[in-house]
Amino acid sequence: MSLTVSTWNINSVRLRIELVADFLQATRPDVLCLQETKCPNDAFPQKRFAALGYTHVALNGQKGWHGVAIVSRLPFEATETRSFCDKTDCRHVSVTFGAKAGLAAPLTLHDFYVPAGGDVPDPEANPKFAHKLAFLDEMRETAALHPADGARAVLVGDLNVAPLENDVWSHKQMLKVVSHTPVECQKLLAAQAAGRWVDAMRRHVPPEKKLYTWWSYRAADWAASNRGRRLDHVWVSPALGDLVSSITVTREARGWTQPSDHVPVTATIEV
């Protein structure tokens, strides 16, 4: 059985619901994980998703800011949300799939939206950057994010860090830019290592090749300048490390009408 999981920072699900609908109709992933939904739970467009066949929904949203959601064609066994840094700012939701979804063994899926961190890469001068660093530390320290031996788990989302040299358009010029500073990269990679997570995207696209999922709104012509960053990630537990059969980055979504600055990433996992 193949499980297809897409992740997308949609930058307002209600504003871009028709783009989401177009993507779902064209791609038909089993599960879509959204970040930056900017929508309280009671205003989430569940009926629109249900009409598209995505009747199972796990939400952690708030008005105007942040927010994550998992919509699925497959039923969940359980759902959970976690708070980080003693803040209830709606940056995590997880679900577990099992027998109801036709899986012989459980699989847990985490959806994350890591703080962006503002513009100044100094935790003393910029509280947003300090929050981001503390959030990454807490991800590393959270035992629930350390899959046990043999456990099947997936962690996706906008992690807001481009950790490798070819995850940004210019490693040298980005070293002092939030999202690619050495301290952020070290902390994200430490969180990955603590959970023994496998970077599924880089299993399929070698680290020596450029790979982006985000292009700034500030660029006059994002495609021509191509100053991208890989801020969106797909991690899998070691038990699934060799079972990700494909990774697709829907780059063309950045050129759609009124797009998000992120594009969808889809993983196919042989479960």
Summarised one tens digit per residue, pLDDT across range 164-216 is 999 999 999 999 999 999 999 999 999 999 999 999 999 999 999 999 999 99
**CA–CA distances in Å: residue 257 to residues 19, 72, 86, 248:** 8, 25, 37, 21
Please tell me the predicted confidence (pLDDT) of residue 75.
98
Q: Which two tokens stand for residue 77?
A: 């066994």
As a whole number, mean pLDDT of residues 4-22 equals 98
Q: Report d(CA 143, CA 265) in Å as an integer.
A: 26
Please work out, in degrees rounded to the nearest 5, the angle formed at the alpha carbon of residue 148 by the alpha carbons of 147 and 149. 120
26: confidence class by pLDDT, cuts 50, 70, 90: very high
Please tell me the predicted confidence (pLDDT) of residue 100.
97
Cβ–Cβ under 8 Å, residues 213 and 7: no
Identify the bridge partners of residue 4 per DSSP, sorted by sequence position.
Answer: 268
Please tell me the predicted confidence (pLDDT) of residue 231.
99
Sign of the four-CA dihedral 256, 262, 268, 271: negative
Of 130, 226, 232, 139, nearest to 178 by C-alpha is 130
As a whole number, mean pLDDT of residues 247-263 equals 98
User: Mind listing the pLDDT tens digit for each residue in 148-175?
Assistant: 999 999 999 999 999 999 999 999 999 9
Q: Report d(CA 227, CA 220) in Å as an integer.
A: 11
Q: Report d(CA 233, CA 188) in Å as an integer.
A: 11
User: Mind listing the pLDDT tens digit for each residue in 51-109?
Assistant: 999 999 999 999 999 999 999 999 999 999 999 999 999 999 999 999 999 999 999 99
Above pLDDT 70, what percent of the chain? 100
Domains parsed from the chain with CATH numbers: 2-270 (3.60.10.10)
pTM equals 0.98
Please tell me the predicted confidence (pLDDT) of residue 181.
98
Residue-averaged pLDDT of the chain? 98
Question: Phi, psi at residue 228, to the nearest 5°?
Answer: -95, 175
Cβ–Cβ under 8 Å, residues 37 and 89: no
Please tell me the predicted confidence (pLDDT) of residue 152.
98
Q: What would the 3-class secondary structure string for the chain be?
A: CEEEEEEEECCCCCCCHHHHHHHHHHHCCCEEEEECCCCCHHHCCHHHHHHCCCCEEEEECCCCCCCEEEEECCCCCEEECCCECCECCCCEEEEEECHHHCCCCCEEEEEEECCCCCCCCCCCCCHHHHHHHHHHHHHHHCHHHCCCCCCCEEEEEECCCCCCHHHECCHHHHCCCCCCCHHHHHHHHHHHHHCCCEEHHHHHCCCCCCCCCEECCCCCCHHHHCCEECCEEEEECHHHCCCEEEEEECHHHHHCCCCCCECCEEEEEEC
